[in-house]
Structure formats: structure tokens, C-alpha cells
A and B are shown apart, each in its own frame.
Chain A
Amino acid sequence: GQQLNQSPQSMFIQEGEDVSMNCTSSSIFNTWLWYKQDPGEGPVLLIALYKAGELTSNGRLTAQFGITRKDSFLNISASIPSDVGIYFCAGLNYGGSQGNLIFGKGTKLSVKP
């Protein structure tokens, strides 16, 4: 089945540093999504990407949909303590009988003040 490989698995950074994480797949997705999950909470959507090559920003977050539709990256600039959490990429395809999100295993971000 479809799987997403997300890296790195965890990151420890200093406040103010920039962060980069990525996600790759062996198969194509119509849509790539990036979620953040805080402890005890459900995932919250950060950025959605719909077109190959699309680059989208949301405040200090920037994400890009790879040209091949098999990868995506998420960058966070000037990290702050509230950026701590687990970041998940997810792929979604249109049509078919599923309509389900395929999630990566997550990147755990820790920020040292």
C-alpha cells in the first residue's frame, strides 16, 4: 500500500533557528497536507497543497508540493517555543472508494528557548 516517508524523525533546535522537514512517497498524490499535533490534541491543518510545484506560505511556515507529486517539504522560519509538537505530512487522492488521508510517521520538533 501507499506509504509516506517523513524525515527527520525528530529535531532539537534553538529558538530562532529555521526548520526544514520533508516527506516522500513511492506513489503520486493529488493533494499534500501538513498537520501539527500537540499533546492530547487532534491534528490541526497548517498548509494544503493542490498543484504540482505549488509553493504556499502561512505566516512563518512555507511548504512546497514536488513537481513529481511524490514529495513535499515544510519549512518553519525563526522558530519559537510554541512550534513544539509533532508535524505530520499526509497525502490524499481524489476519486476511488477511499478518500482517506495517508499520514507519515511524523517529525517531533523540540525548541530550546
Chain B
Amino acid sequence: DAGVTQSPTHLIKTRGQQVTLRCSPISGHKSVSWYQQVLGQGPQFIFQYYEKEERGRGNFPDRFSARQFPNYSSELNVNALLLGDSALYLCASSLRLAGSNPTGELFFGEGSRLTVL
């Protein structure tokens, strides 16, 4: 069975550019969450989408946006890139809404490594 798949795996952008990252959840999972992991740190929550609706947002500027499609795949968009946006962007999927009781396991993809020059 396919796990969480993310694309692209690596990409390089310059300051001011825009980037779109993609995520396909595990089949049957309706929740997708996005996390940013800066080198040497733990992942930080950006968004959660469930049934195509935003259900949670972390402390990130409005340059970050996301959406979820009818097939439950998701895109994360970052506009006006800054050097500090360089990070590993992780997508996680779960069967239920993360934060419901019980949540069940969140499965992470391998991430998209973004470098901003």
C-alpha cells in the first residue's frame, strides 16, 4: 500500500519567488496536515485540512496557504519566499481529524526539502 507521497522531494528557489508543494494522503485518509521542519528543530504545525476544509492553522504568516482537493490530496503554497522559509516541509495524513478522540496515528511523508537562495 502506498504511504503518504510528497512532491517534489527537493527544490531550490530564490527570494521573492512562489512555491507549491503537493501531498497525496494514504488511501481512505481524509485529514492532511502540513508541518515545517527547520534544520535541527522539531516539526512545527502549519495547517490541517479535513474533508476539504481548513480545521487548524499554526503561527505562520499569510504568505502560507493551502487547500485540499475532492480526492483529499493537498497543496501548500508559499508566496514571496524568504531565506528563512528554507526547511523540510512534511505532510501527514490521518484517518480522522487530528485532535479528535481518538485521533489515531498520523503518518508522515518523506517531505519536500525547500532551499531558498
Interface residues of A (CB under 8 A from B): 1, 4, 6, 30-31, 35, 40-45, 48, 50, 88, 90, 92-106
Looking at B14-22, B70-78, B79-87, B95-103, the stretch in contact with chain A turns out to be B95-103
B residues with a Cβ closer than 8 A to A are 4, 33, 35, 40-45, 48, 55-59, 90, 92, 97-103, 105-111
| CA A88 to CA B40, docked complex, whole Å | 11
**With A30-B101, A31-B103, A94-B103 known to touch, is A104 a contact of B56 (CB < 8 Å)?**
no
Residue of B nearest to A42 (CB): B108
Instruction: Indicate if the CB atoms of A88 and B42 lie closer than 8 Å.
Output: yes
- Interface residues of B, dominant DSSP: loop
Contact B99 A103 (CB under 8 A): no
Whether B59 pairs with A1 at a CB distance below 8 angstroms is yes
> B42 near A106 (CB under 8 angstroms)?
yes
- A43 B43 Cβ-Cβ under 8 A: yes
Give the distance to chain A from B61, nearest Cβ to Cβ, in Å.
Answer: 16
Question: How far apart are the CA atoms of A69 and B14 in the complex, in Å?
Answer: 44
- Chain A residues contacting B105 (CB-CB under 8 Å) are 45, 48
Q: A99 contacts B97, CB within 8 Å?
A: yes
Distance in angstroms from A4 CB to nearest chain B CB is 8
A3 to chain B, nearest CB (A): 10
The residue of chain A having its C-beta at the shortest distance from the C-beta of B98 within the complex is: A99
- A43 in contact with B101 given A98-B48, A99-B56, A105-B42 (CB within 8 Å): no
- For the complex formed, measure the closest distance between the CB of A46 and the CB atoms of chain B, giving whole angstroms: 11
